[in-house]
Structure 1
C-alpha cells in the first residue's frame, strides 16, 4: 500500500510538475530560437559566420527555466545561406519526479525548437531630385554620381533577393515630377535591369527658374505606393535632394512660378508678366541688391523687408510647409518609411536663398523638411557633400542592406 501511495505521488508529481516544466521550457526555447534567427538573419549581408555568431549571442541572452547556465554553443545548430538562417536548439532539462519512476533512467527530458528567418518583402521607390542644380559641379555632376549610387542600390537589393520579394520604382522631380518606372521586381517584365536602365536615362531639368518641388516628388511616389504597394510589404521611399525646397507656391503667385516664385514678394512693381529668369541678388558690403533687366536695381533694406516683404514671404513658406507636411503625414498614415539623403553643399548656397532667409527673418527656410520626414515615418536622415561620390554610394549600399526580417515555418 505504501509503495502504491509513493508511486501515485510520483506520477502526480510528473503530471503537475514535470509536464508543465517541459511545456514551459519548450515555449521559452521557441522564443530563444525566434529571437536568434531574426537577429542572425539581419546580419546575413555580412556573411554566414557573422549571422551565426549574432544568433548565438542573442540566444545566450535568454534564460531557460531548469537550465542554470542557459543556452550553450553546443545546444544550437545552424543552417544558413546568403538568404536565410535556420536555428535549432536542443536541450536536456532535468526532471523532478520522473527520474524516480524509471530507476534513474529518466534524469532528463529532451526539448527542441526551430525557427527560420528570411527577408520580408520590400516595396521601395527611389525619389531623385533632377533639378537644374544637379549639374552645378560640372561634367554632369552630382547627377552622374547619384545615378551610379542608385544603380548600386538596385544591385545590392538584387543580390540579396533570392526569394524575388523586392520591388523598386523610380520617381524624379524638379518643378514637376515623373514616374520613371513603376514598382518592378525580378520577375516583372524587364526585371531590375529595366530599373537600372531607367535610372541611367535621368537627366537634369534644363528649364529656367527655381525648380525644387519636394511636395510633387513625394506626392507622385505616394500615389504609386498607394495604388500598387503590396499590403504585406515593407514600404520605403528613399528621397534624395541637393537643395532647399522653393515650390509649390500659393495660387496667387502662379505667374511667378514659371520663374522665381518669391519674385512676387520681392518685386515692388509686381511686373506682369514677371521678368523671365532674369532677376538675381548681389551683395555689396553688408547690403543686398535685387537686379532685374527692364526694372531699376533696388537695395533690399531691413525696413523694406519688415514693411513690404516679410508677411508675403511668410505666407509663401507657410503654404509650402502645409503642402509638403501634408504628404509626410500621408506617408505616415500609409505606413511608408521615408529615408532622406541631403547632398546640399552649404558653400554653394545661392544668394537667392540667402536673401529669402532674410526676408522671412527668424523662420527657417526649409523648416527641416528632411529631418521631419524621416523622424515622422521612422526613417533615417543622411548627409553627403555634393562632390562626395563615395559617401553617396556607401549611403545607398547601407540602406539596401538594412533589411527587414520575418519568421517563416521551419523546414
Structure 2
C-alpha cells in the first residue's frame, strides 16, 4: 500500500510488476521485503544507485549493472555460479505491465532522480553506436578491440576456468560422466576425424584461441597453422607449442584470419569464430575460407546459433556490453545458405546444444573452485560478470534459447567431392 506521500515501497513495486508471484525473497534498502519468507534464494537491493540501474537498464542490462556494481546482491548461490537463482527468475518470474494509474504511482514512487541514467560499471563496453569511432563494425581495427575486451582478460584466469585443455568452446561429452578435459579432447578428435586429417596434411585453424586444435593436429603429424586476434592467446599458444616440441608442425600467428596468404590447405577448422564475424559478412567469410582450400578440401564451422533464422542477428544487452561486443548470432539455416552460396557443398550438420550446457556447468564449477584466486587476478566485478554470463548461457543452452551447430562442407573438385557414401567419423 502507498505511504502517506502516496509512494509504494520498493518491494511492493516488484511484487506488482511480478503479478504477485515472486519465486524468491526480495529485500530492499528502504526496509521493505516481499516473496516467500522461507525461500532459499534471494535478492537484496542495497542502494538507490541500484534502483537507478534497474529502472534505466534495458532488459537484462539493468539487473547486470546493479549486480556487478555491488548494488544488488544474490543470496543462496555462489557468485561464481548463480545458475539456480537465474533459473528461478527465468522460469517463474514473469513481469506484467500494470494499469496506467498503478504505473504512474510506481514512477512517482521511484522518483525522477532514480530515473535519470547514470554511468555504468567500468567493465561495460560502450554502446554500439559509440564504438563506431573505433571503425566500422567487423572491420579489422574494431574486431581487434572487441577480441581484446573478452579474450585478453588474463591467461591465468582462463586456466582456472577452462582447465588443462585451455579450450574456450563447446566440448563434446562421450558419456554423461566424462570430465571436462575428456570432453574437450573428444571434441578435437571429432573435428579431426570429420576433416579426414592424416599425417602430412595441412590444416588452417582460424580463430584458434590458445591453439588446442592446432596442437592436437600437430601431435598426429598434421602441419597446422592457427591465427588469433588475441595477443595473450598467441603468447600462451606459442609457448605451449615449444614446450610440447611441436615447432616443426604447429604455428600460431597473431593477426586477422583475413591476412592469411597461403592457399591449398587440406582442411580449415573454424571453432567459435563465426559469432564474431557479423551476419552481413558471411559471404566474404565463407568465400575467403573456400579460397584457402584445395579442391576436395573440407571446412568445419563450429559456432553458437539461434534456434530460428528469423530473429534479429544482433546481440544486445548484457552479452553485448559485458561479454562479446559486436557479437552476432543467427540460425544454422542462414549459415548453411551462406556457405552454399560461396560454392561449398554442405555434407553434414549437427546440434551440440546439450553438450554446451554441460561445458558451461563444468566451467562454472571451476570458477567456484578457484573463486578467491580469480577475484585476486581480475577483480571482483569482472569475476561476477563471468559467473553470471556462464550461468545464464548454461540456462539458455538447456532450454534451447541458443544452440551450437557444427557444419561440415567440402570444396567440390570438378563436381565430385571424393567423400565416402556415409559419415566416416565416430560420433
TM-score in terms of structure 1 length? 0.26
Q: Of Structure 1 and Structure 2, which has the larger fraction of its residues in strand?
A: 1
TM-score in terms of structure 2 length? 0.25
Q: Which has the larger radius of gyration?
A: 1
